[in-house]
Amino acid sequence: MSFYLAIIGTKDNAVYDLEFGTFRQGGDGTSKFSADMKQLCPFIVHSSLDIVEEMQWNTNVMHLKVIDKFYNYLISAYMTAGNMKFLLLHETRADDVVRQFFVDLYDLYVKTLMSPFYSVDQPITSPVFDQRVKMLAKKYL
């Protein structure tokens, strides 16, 4: 199974994105997307923002669950209090696990945000952040 994670800023800008695979069922943590799919991923996730924007006003929870799909791929979304969107493209439905993953990711994101050298919507380039996200992915997905 393969995943694509994107953190989208308040102006539809990509703050962070990561493509990874599962470590379960003998996976080695690399994604198995086809070449076409690799290219399309950012666009799919971007197009799902339409649905996120529509849904965010109808609910008071942060985890919006699966909001959209593209053929067999599902897109889960999580809204932060600061209007950042976490979007995860995945293949099977697992709301609980994805929610735990998002909550921990939010924790990481807030810690990044607290850095005096980081401002909202700036791309996150920190290798430590990257490392921690990968560990989260390994833990939950």
Residues that bind other proteins (CB under 8 A): 12-14, 17, 39-40, 42-44, 46-50, 53-54, 57, 71
Q: Which is nearer to other proteins, 65 or 69 (CB)?
A: 69
Strands 14-21 and 2-8: antiparallel
Smallest gap from residue 57 Cβ to other proteins (A): 7
Residue 122, both tokens:
């700036």
Smallest gap from residue 17 Cβ to other proteins (A): 6
Burial 2-35 (b: 16+ CB within 10 A, else e): bbbbbbbbeeeeebbbebbbbeeeebeeebebee
Smallest gap from residue 58 Cβ to other proteins (A): 10
Q: Which is nearer to other proteins, 17 or 104 (CB)?
A: 17
